[in-house]
């Protein structure tokens, strides 16, 4: 959209430019609050925070490449019962944005009065990895520059390494990297609301004719990510395929259900797998064991994982939170992502891509899926 | 009356999951049979029984560590 603002600035000023923008929005009353990551007192992690005092904008660490809790889950918490009555600016990663869109369609979040600011995302590190990087004196920003330069980093969360949706679409403002040299960043307004917000800090240096260069760069970036994703899928498919492999891969699962708890999309107040359906009389256990001679306890480990795929994979945005939360490093996010990719592809759907595409399980049509049967 | 159409989506999703995980998606079967279609019901059950016999016991039934 040529009519909206495209500005650019030196790379080393990125944090300062974005903080100044957020501070001005607060000071001028354009927004009443800012949701963005702040450095925590340990210095070795960052968490989302709701800032209402402009003086506290300085503590923000807006691009810390770490996601402690999905911002989508936070926005659902803040807006589900009642939409924001005052405008709030939210800085979030593209997967968090997609999860927010998905939750909005599921009526678990409300976008009213939100000014959504997202970014070209090079990926994030797990909370643990980020903390050790900081403690070892590594500069996460330096790592990010390498990633945007096309280098791979095996420490990056695996789903981020092969993330083909790391350029945001449905937001008001994008903090942009693609299409600019290594020494520059930019801000792009995608909506009128975004355009007005960018206007509060003046026009900045115009990023003239950036669209073509950006499109080319985004395409190149996405192609590399898709190639990586396909390589990951191929490797994973080998590892999980068949019941013997599945039992091996979920052998370390301790049924803590952390993966479900942290999932932004798993919004049910009471999970089916924690419900009375899974409470059994003593004889049932004896019967099950009797049929095989033995029974893993607690029961239904694999059923939980496959059941969750059946319930939620069509809305999975592949944010990877589940894998970060797994105490035993079961590659739950990678498996969920591969399954979600296939279930969504079957219906030409992408979770969180658009508010206009209804969620799959609320829709049904007569003229589809004839190969499955029926009629 | 749309439960059958919703169910068909569910079955398609489940079969896709099974295919992705290398499990036998042929063991999931969907057929719509109305209360008045006695013959169709009988034929379908016969067909499924036949197919299941050919497939043999599901190896997953013997797994203790599911």
pLDDT at A44: 86
DSSP helix/strand/coil, B42: helix
pLDDT at A364: 87
Residue in chain A closest to B14 (alpha carbons) equals: A310
Residue listed under structure tokens 């996601």: A67
Give dist(CA A308, CA A310) in Å, integer: 5
One-letter-per-residue 3-state SS of A170-205:
CCCEEEECCCCCCCEEEEEECCHHHHHHHHCCCCCE
pLDDT at A32: 98
Residue in chain A closest to B6 (alpha carbons) equals: A364
B62 in a structural domain: no
Q: Which of A312, A343, A371 is the best substitution to test chain B (most B C-beta atoms within 10 A)?
A: A343
pLDDT at A1: 46
B24 touches chain A (CB under 8 A): no
Bridge-based pairing of strands A205-206 and A6-10 is antiparallel
Strand partners, A37: A48
Contacts of A287 (CB under 8 A, 6+ apart): none
Per-residue pLDDT tens over the stretch A3-52: 799 999 999 999 999 999 999 999 999 999 999 999 998 888 899 999 99
More confident residue, A203 or A248: A248
What count of residues does chain A have?
A: 375
Name the minimum distance, in Å, from the CA of B26 to any CA of chain A: 10
pLDDT at A142: 82
Bridge-based pairing of strands A46-51 and A33-39 is antiparallel
A84: number of Cβ within 10 Å: 18
Supply the mean pLDDT for chain B. 92
pLDDT for A284 beyond 90: yes
A353 touches chain B (CB under 8 A): no
H-run or E-run covering A117: strand A114-119
pLDDT at A140: 76
Mean pLDDT, to the nearest integer, of B5-34? 94
Residue listed under structure tokens 């499924």: B48
B47 in a structural domain: yes
B12 in a structural domain: yes
Of A63, A110, A113, A71, residue with least CA distance to A88 = A113
In the structure, what pLDDT confidence band is assigned to residue A204 with cuts at 50, 70 and 90?
A: confident
Per-residue pLDDT tens over the stretch A220-260: 999 999 999 999 999 999 999 999 999 999 999 999 999 99
Joined tokens for residue A113: 């009065």
pLDDT for B1 beyond 80: no
Name the minimum distance, in Å, from the CA of B35 to any CA of chain A: 14
* Start-end of H helices in chain A: 14-27, 71-79, 94-105, 127-135, 140-148, 158-161, 192-199, 210-240, 243-249, 258-262, 282-292, 301-312, 321-325, 332-346
A247 touches chain B (CB under 8 A): yes
B61 in a structural domain: no
- The burial of B65, by beta-carbon neighbours within 10 Å (0-12 exposed, 13-18 middle, 19 or more buried), is given as middle
- Mean pLDDT is lowest, of A89-103, A157-171, A305-319, B51-65, for B51-65
Task: Count structural domains, chain B.
Answer: 1
Give dist(CA A192, CA A329) in Å, integer: 43
Mean pLDDT, to the nearest integer, of B38-42? 95
Mean pLDDT, to the nearest integer, of A291-309? 95
> Percent of chain A, pLDDT > 70?
99
Q: CB–CB of A251 and B65 under 8 A?
A: yes
B29 in a structural domain: yes
pLDDT at A145: 87
Contacts of A271 (CB under 8 A, 6+ apart): A257, A260
pLDDT for A2 beyond 80: no
The domain in which residue B28 lies consists of: 3-56
- Mean pLDDT is lowest, of A48-52, A85-89, A143-147, for A143-147
B64 in a structural domain: no
Give dist(CA A195, CA A203) in Å, integer: 10
Q: CB–CB of B31 and A240 under 8 A?
A: no
Q: How far is CA A207 from the centre of its chain?
A: 28
Name the minimum distance, in Å, from the CA of A167 to any CA of chain B: 27
Q: Are A184 and A9 in contact (CB under 8 A)?
A: yes
B32 in a structural domain: yes
Q: CB–CB of B8 and A366 under 8 A?
A: no
pLDDT for A205 beyond 60: yes
Mean pLDDT, to the nearest integer, of A93-97? 98
Q: CB–CB of B6 and A245 under 8 A?
A: no
B34 touches chain A (CB under 8 A): no
Q: CB–CB of A346 and B8 under 8 A?
A: no
Residue in chain B closest to A234 (alpha carbons) equals: B20
Q: Are A318 and A165 in contact (CB under 8 A)?
A: yes
Q: CB–CB of A372 and B20 under 8 A?
A: no
More confident residue, A142 or B8: B8
Q: Are A374 and B4 in contact (CB under 8 A)?
A: yes
A288 touches chain B (CB under 8 A): no
Give dist(CA A221, CA B3) in Å, integer: 42
Rg of chain A, C-alpha, whole Å: 22
Check residue A257 and give left, alpha or beta (phi > 0: left; psi -120 to 50: alpha): left
Residue in chain A closest to B32 (alpha carbons) equals: A374
Name the minimum distance, in Å, from the CA of A218 to any CA of chain B: 29
ipTM of the complex: 0.93
pLDDT at A203: 63
């Amino acid at each position: 959209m040529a009519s909206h603002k495209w500005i650019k600035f030196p790379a080393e000023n990125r944090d300062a430019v974005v903080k100044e923008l957020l501070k001005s929005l607060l000071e001028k009353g354009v927004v009443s609050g800012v949701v963005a990551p702040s450095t925590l007192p340990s210095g070795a992690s960052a968490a989302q925070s709701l800032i209402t005092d402009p003086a506290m904008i300085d503590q923000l660490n807006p691009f810390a490449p770490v996601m402690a809790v999905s911002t989508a889950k936070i926005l659902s918490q803040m807006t589900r019962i009642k939409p924001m009555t005052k405008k709030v600016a939210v800085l979030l990663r593209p997967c968090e944005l997609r999860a927010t869109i998905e939750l909005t369609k599921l009526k678990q979040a409300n976008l009213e009065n939100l000014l959504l600011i997202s970014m070209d995302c090079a990926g994030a590190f797990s909370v643990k990895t980020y903390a050790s990087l900081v403690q070892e004196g590594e500069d996460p920003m330096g790592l990010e520059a390498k990633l945007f330069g096309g280098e791979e980093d095996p420490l990056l969360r695996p789903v981020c390494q092969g993330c083909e949706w790391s350029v945001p679409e449905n937001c008001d403002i994008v903090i942009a990297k693609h299409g600019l040299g290594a020494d520059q960043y930019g801000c792009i307004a995608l909506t009128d609301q975004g355009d007005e917000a960018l206007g509060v800090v003046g026009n900045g240096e115009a990023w003239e004719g950036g669209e073509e260069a950006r499109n080319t760069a985004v395409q190149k970036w996405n192609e590399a990510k898709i190639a990586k994703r396909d390589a990951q899928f191929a490797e994973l498919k080998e590892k999980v395929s068949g019941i013997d492999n599945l039992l091996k891969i979920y052998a370390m699962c301790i049924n803590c259900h952390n993966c479900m708890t942290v999932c932004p999309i798993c919004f049910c107040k009471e999970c089916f797998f924690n419900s009375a359906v899974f409470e059994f009389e003593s004889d049932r256990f004896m019967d099950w064991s009797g049929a095989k001679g033995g029974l893993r306890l607690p029961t239904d480990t694999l059923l939980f994982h496959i059941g969750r795929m059946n319930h939620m994979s069509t809305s999975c945005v592949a944010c990877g939170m589940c894998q970060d939360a797994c105490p035993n490093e079961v590659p739950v996010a990678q498996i969920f992502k591969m399954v979600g990719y296939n279930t969504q592809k079957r219906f030409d759907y992408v979770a969180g891509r658009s508010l206009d595409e209804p969620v799959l399980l609320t829709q049904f049509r007569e003229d589809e899926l004839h190969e499955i049967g029926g009629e | 009356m749309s439960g059958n159409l919703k169910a068909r989506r569910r079955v398609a999703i489940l079969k896709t999951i099974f295919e992705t995980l290398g499990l036998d998606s042929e063991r999931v079967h969907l057929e719509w049979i109305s209360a008045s279609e006695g013959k169709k019901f009988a034929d379908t059950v016969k067909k499924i029984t036949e197919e299941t016999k050919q497939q043999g016991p599901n190896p997953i039934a013997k797994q203790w560590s599911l």
